[in-house]
Structure 1
Amino acid sequence: MDRDQSLSQREFSSFATRQNSVSSQRRWYDIFARCTKLQFLVYGMAHHRQDRETPWLPPEYESVRPLMDDFTRLHQLMNSNRKDRPFSICHSIGVKSSLNSSLTRALLPTRTVCNVLVGAYIKTFESVLRILHVPSFMAEYERFWEAIPSESAVNEEEEVLACKILLIVSLGACICVGSQGSTDVDELPSNFFGRASSWIAHAQHWVAQKMVTGLLADIDLAQISCLLALTKHTQHSYGLVCHPWYYDLSRLGIWLGLHREPRISFPEMPVGEAEIRRRLWATMLELSLLVCFDKGLPAALTPDSYNCEAPSSIADEDIELGLVAQCLTPSTVLGLLTRTHRIRIQILHLINAPCVSKAYDESHQLATKLNAACCANLDEVRAFSKPEPSEFQVTLLEMFTRPFVLALHAQFAEEPSNKSAYYSRRMRMEISSLLLLPFSTLPVSSTSAQHPISVDTGSTGGEKRTSTGEQAILAALRIHGHGHFALVQRQATASLCLDLVSELEENEFPTLESASRNRLRDALRGAVDIFTRRMKVTEGACSTHELVFFTSAKAYIGALQRKCTPGEAYKAITEAARRALASCCAEMERRSNDCTRWKMFEGLFGL
């Protein structure tokens, strides 16, 4: 290893020790230090400075240093600016302790726009995670708009409904930014994502007050808590206090008794109410497992902590009769997800509990079992016709389960001395490609990034969406999603980058694997495009580090496939890094100027 081209192993170990003395403080991109030609990015992002007498950057990389310094400065400035901005927005509107119809209507857009956003939520998220009884909610929703606005004291039912509407509309805004053909719906610009933060803040504040006074402890609490938890996967929460149940919805479900099977514990309970409780428990457990996975926590319960059965595939209109449908219903996907709950609880315990031995045999056994269940679930849902499953349903079924398989193999794929490392690496590439390939052909125009989906509120759930509509929904989720949706994209893309580099550097089977590598490179190209659009739509608030690392890694992979010389590879990497850094700096500079103007506005008007 040449001194002028990379860090020595001793220097890197010393740097890693200083930067990551506490494992929880490790940056996600530190894994790129495994790739010799990308180590300079890890050092640069950490704002590390080596002794000038012992340069660690080759000459080709020195031209990137000024941009990396600007990137670090702007990123730190944005972090300090955006922490207080949601509070400023909420303060300028005025967060109230009550949610009467007059206040709620003042917060919300027009009824036409709300209809589109509510319809978008019901056709997407509600078709996977069952939180509402849709006919009942829609009847209440219509009464909300038909009633005369009132600023007088309100009853709890009106406040509960207002809270649900605020959260549902904010969730719909994540995947529905407007229709190009309707003037009313064109009111949905990208700034609705900022307004959604204020809607969520009002809902959070109201729920917190009700919980302190003990006035909200029933099914409404479970539904609102699920909606709040789901917003963490669709909206940034800088400056917003996390809902107290966000990290442990399963405990809330146990407190409400939802973990008990109604048929056994409450034999006199009506069939419809029992089914709603099963749906809510399955949804709360699913969201709880996703949070534990994202935060690196063991599950808060064991596989034997509940006996509530999986929800049945019953249409909402037939819930009182308990008639199980033989076709796809909005509850079908949630029923499939519940089949893997117990094994995913075991996996979370294995990979995150500090005192558990990370033995390969047990990890391999669990990974094989879960992967088989994922394949069976996918085959089952794909077999439905009239109606066919939407790509949104299929995608979330995969995104909620496959990453657990990825996590089990990740801990062994990076151990060169481990005889099982090759298999784990191949499995990690397989899972990463499954998570990324459906998005390698998403629409790439700038128009799509700003207006990714048009929802026809008159269509029924049984109608098959057009190919363009399906792609637009998934593009919107990938571009505007946060939480688990953003984490899975980042993990899968980072794994694919590193594993492709390892495969190409070893190049053991060039003839056999050339076609599959090209396909994987297409998946990587699509992922980089998504991160580019995420960065631009948020004006540099999200995905800046991801864009720089993944763009540079893609350039290196391309150089390896073209069999470039080391000098040509260095040039390709630095040019890609320079373009990505310049693009990120331009967006962050623009957003920083906007924040400065916002603070001046606050000072002028005393907000």
Structure 2
Amino acid sequence: MPEPERRRRRPPVSCVLCRQRKIRCNRESPCNNCLRSRSGSCIYENPVAQLPQRTAELSLGPPESAPAKKPSSIGTSSTVPSHASASSSRATSSATPSTRPSYQAAQDVESLKYRIKQLEEQLSKAERSASLSPVQATETITSRISGTFYVHHEDRLAGQSSGAIPRSTSHKSREFGQSHWVNGLLIVRDIIAIMEPYVREETSKASMLMQKSKSLARIIKKRRAPSWPAPPSTHLPPKDIADELVDCYLRTTETVYRILHIPTFKKEYDAHWTSQSEPSTAFLVLLKLVLAIGATTYDDTFSLRASAMQWVYEAVTWLSEPGFKHRLNLQYIQISLLLLLARELVDVGPDLVWISAGTILRTSIYMGLHKDPKRLTPKMTIFVSEMRRRLWNTIIELSLQLSLTSGGPPMISLDMFDTEPPGNFDDEQLTTEDPVPRPEDSFTQTSLVIALRKTFPTRLAIAKFLNDHDSHGTYEDTLRLDAELRVSYKSISRTLHSYRTSAGPRPSQFGMDIMGIIINRHFLSLHIPFFAPSLQEAAYAYSRKVVVETSLKIWRAMVPLGTFQPSNNDDTSSPDRHDLTRLAICGSGTFNIIPLQASSLIATDLRAQLQEDETLGSSFVRQDLLAVMREAKVSALECIRAGETSIKGYFLVSVIAAQIDALMQGISKEEFPAYLIKVAEEAEETALAILEDMVTQQQQAESSGEGSEQTHSTTPSGLLEDWDFPMSDALFNFGDAEPIDWVFEGMPLQEPPLL
């Protein structure tokens, strides 16, 4: 009787460590037990994967020419874990010797299959990692017109796009995030490249005109800059003019950025004109900053620019005095915030106010404004509590908005403060005992601020998404943030429109417009990085639509139809004047940049439309967008007439409009450079004539002895080089404040009056 075939021992499928400890192994590499024990390598004695034997027999079968053999012994020299099962062993024992394949061959095949699977998984992981880890590439753009920029692109286009997304831009010693205006204007760099050969020559007319304009700008700025230091003086404009300037401030800036308690301020203001005693220096500095901000919307030409700069310089000088420890009070925060706004609007180092905003933020935290008053001791009055909430709200709002303007990270987060939004109080209510906030559907002097605060978390997320150094968001993230902001925007829009239709107090048109601009600016900044790719790729068509329509909304809010008709400019004191238009023309910084950026983006889309329809015969061009281009040239020229010394805004708008006109007229590519240069020279000549008139007026004022305080400058004024806005270093330390003998009830420290 033949000896029965001896069954081989079932190969171990657990790792060595699990077998020794006699615990269950999940058969991964490394297994769960080895990971927990941190024992190092996880070793398997029979790493060659084995499928059930019947499967192997069906797939391979025995070699026809080879005799059947007994199963060979199991190899032990591979690195792949085994997945044999008890059923496979039973299948092997029941198979006849004539149908068994070569086990070694089956093991080799299955080992290769398993190895291929491993490599495929590793490749898939590598591809996913590559798609999440962006590849950075730097593009250098150098031009005599624009200077040198380094554009840092992020090529995220593994499965997304065929073009790179700009993540930041370097210029001189500064780094600009995605929200900075220069990232939008780089879209038109092809026009600058066309003009570059013609302006690079020193003897070309365009180059000579540009150099002459820079020289005149130096002269104007040097004569305009006040002397330094500029100690505060008691000199103020006549009371009728001062009244108008205060009214300009209160009906514009104060409606959105709550800084003053209006009744208290007016009381102190009236007392200043009637009192015979020496005025408080702190109040005098605060009042002059209010006058300086109001001067930007006083008339169409910013006729009080020199006085406004003098008032700002005095405030900077006063705050720069040493010894500011005992100044840490709420009036000091009020003055600091007013100085921040005045510097940006009056053109005293507007590019650097983001840095100063960080100083105010840290100072307010040091004073505890980031903690809600009801959590502080001793208990404060409602008046003091509400003023603290208002000031903190203005601080974080300005920090966020300046983050978008400067392209820098907002440097704030929602978990760094617990201060509640301001209550729905009118200012007069706070002077009564135990005031009760009005219902949400009742409009007060704080309603706009409360509505804007509701969108703050989403807007802060957008600023971080655009400007944080480690932010590499996808287009899906962009769409998600867009949707979240639209939900918040619709909610507050319904509330604001209900105020306009109610019988009680209503928000001003300026307040409504500025709210829309602030929120729409976040939509614009969110989609601008994808605007250039959207001109070639349908995947980003939504971003193109958002950029164009939002730019149009912003432009129409700042420049309503018919703004530059002669009938609207013949009376600068007309009660129906548009304050926001004056702010855009006369002011600098944010509200001067936004319309220029919006018109440039609209022009880029117009150009793309004409190029797309170039081969389709007569083109259909949106007339509302063409109207913006015509108005943009007038607006840029009005800025120069109002005292802007840089002609490059007008120059840029003119050449962009010229390219659109050339496409509409069918000018050939060969004739286009000459046409563009001709338009550029005409624009420079027009702007140069205005600068020459400014110099002449300054000379006449000096000869007649007017404005001597403003024209004798000991501080050199830097040239507006490249695409910079004025960069005068108005960095300051916080100095002494004169206390007023007035104590808030419930406050542990003596405080000057909140104005």
- Please indicate the TM-score interval, normalised by the length of the shorter structure: 0.7 to 0.9
Per-residue Cα deviation, 1:551-584 (whole angstroms, up to 9, x for no partner): 2222332443455655776676445333312111
Structure 1, 487-496 or 427-436: larger mean CA deviation: 487-496
Cα displacement (A) at 1:172: 0.9
Give the alignment of 1:147-162 within 5 angstroms: 147-148=275-276, 150=278, 158-162=280-284
Structure 1 residue 479 displacement after superposition? 1.0
Q: 1:298 to 1:35 in 2, by over 3 A?
A: closer
- Alignment partner of 1:541 is 2:675: no
**Cα separation, 2, equivalents of 1:483 and 1:163:** 22
User: In the aligned structure 1, how far is the partner of 2:269 from the partner of 2:510?
Assistant: 25
Secondary structure of the 2:379 match is: coil
Letter in 2 for 1:48: R
Query: Counterpart of 2:686?
Result: 583
SS of the equivalent of 2:320 reads helix
- Contact kept, 8 Å, 1:228 with 1:246, in 2: the verdict is no
Residue pair 2:184, 2:597 contacting (<8 A) in 1 also: no
In the other structure, the counterpart of 1:138 is 266
Matches within 5 A, 1:175-574: 175-177=297-299, 190-209=302-321, 212-237=323-348, 245-266=356-377, 268-319=379-430, 320=432, 321-324=435-438, 326-385=441-500, 386-415=504-533, 420-438=539-557, 439-444=559-564, 452-454=572-574, 468-469=576-577, 471=578, 473-507=579-613, 514=620, 517-538=622-643, 541-542=645-646, 544-561=647-664, 566=669, 573-574=676-677
Q: Which residue in 2 is equivalent to 1:62? A: none
Tell me, yes or no, if the aligned pair for 1:328 and 1:388 is still in contact at 8 Å.
yes
Q: TM-score, normalised by structure 1?
A: 0.78
Which secondary structure state, in structure 2, belongs to the residue aligned with residue 557 of structure 1? helix
Deviation per CA, 1:186-230, whole angstroms, max 9, x where unpaired?
xxx8441111100111111112226x3323111101111111111
Q: Letter of the aligned partner of 2:242 in structure 1? A: C
C-alpha distance in 2 between matches for 1:372 and 1:572: 47
Q: Which of the pair has more CA radius of gyration?
A: 2
In 1, are the aligned partners of 2:645 and 2:691 still within 8 Å (CA)?
yes
CA contact (8 A) 2:344 2:589 kept: yes
| Contact 1:378–1:394, Cα closer than 8 Å, also in 2 | no
Matched residue pairs, number? 536
Q: 1:407 to 1:244 in 2, by over 3 A?
A: closer
Q: Deviations over 1:422-469 (max 9, x none)?
A: 2212211111111002314253267966964456xxxxxxxxxxxx33
Cα deviation digits, residues 1-47 of structure 1 (max 9, x gap) = xxxxxxxxxxx978579933473218939945656555334666xx5
Q: CA RMSD in A?
A: 3.7
- Tell me how far apart the structure 2 counterparts of residues 553 and 343 of structure 1 sit (CA, whole Å): 34
Give the secondary structure class of the aligned counterpart of 2:200. coil
Q: Is the 8 A contact 2:248 2:298 kept in 1?
A: yes
Check whether the contact 1:74–1:588 (CA below 8 A) recurs between aligned residues: no
- CA distance 1:248–1:370, change in 2 (3 Å): farther
User: 1:461 maps to what in 2?
Assistant: none
Which residue, 110, 114, 118 being the options, matches 2:242?
114
Q: Secondary structure at the match of 1:234?
A: helix
Contact residue 449 and residue 537 of structure 1 kept, 8 A: no
Cα 1:307–1:32, aligned 2, differ >3 Å: closer, same or farther? closer
* Secondary structure of the structure 1 residue equivalent to 2:326: coil
Residue type at the aligned position of 2:281:
E
The secondary structure found in structure 1 opposite 2:305 is: helix
Q: Is contact 2:404–2:463 with CA below 8 Å preserved after alignment?
A: yes
Structure 1 unaligned runs (5+)? Answer: 1-11, 51-64, 179-188, 456-467
Could you tell me the TM-score, scaled by structure 2's length?
0.64
CA drift of 1:534 comes to: 0.4
Contact kept? 1:175, 1:453, Cα under 8 Å: no
- Structure-2 separation of matches of 1:143 and 1:561: 62
Q: Are 2:220 and 2:695, in contact at CA under 8 Å, matched by a contact in 1?
A: no
Segment drifting more, 573-582 vs 495-504: 573-582
- Runs of 5+ consecutive residues of structure 2 not aligned to the other structure: 1-138, 152-168, 173-180, 715-755
Q: Is the 8 A contact 1:490 1:546 kept in 2?
A: yes
Q: 1:144 to 1:588 in 2, by over 3 A?
A: same
Structure 1 residue aligned with 2:66: none
Distance in 2 between the 1:509 and 1:474 partners? 41
Alignment partner of 1:74 out of 199, 204, 212: 212
- The 1:448–1:18 alpha-carbon spacing in structure 2 relative to 1, beyond 3 Å, is closer
- The equivalent of 2:200 in structure 1 is 48
Q: What's the % identity of the aligned pairs?
A: 21
Contact 1:271 1:322 in 2 (8 A): no
Q: Quote how far apart the aligned CAs of 1:306 are.
A: 1.3
Q: Deviations over 1:78-134 (max 9, x none)?
A: 4544564455x335xx722xx5xxx32x2x111111111111111111111111110
Check whether the contact 1:262–1:274 (CA below 8 A) recurs between aligned residues.
Answer: yes
1:535 counterpart letter in structure 2 = I
Deviations 1:122-157 (A, max 9, x none): 11111111111100110111111111154xxx7xxx
Distance 1:312 1:255 in 2: 23
The code of the aligned residue for 1:431 comes to: T
- Provide closer, same or farther for how the CA distance between residues 451 and 373 of structure 1 changes in structure 2, counting only shifts above 3 A: farther
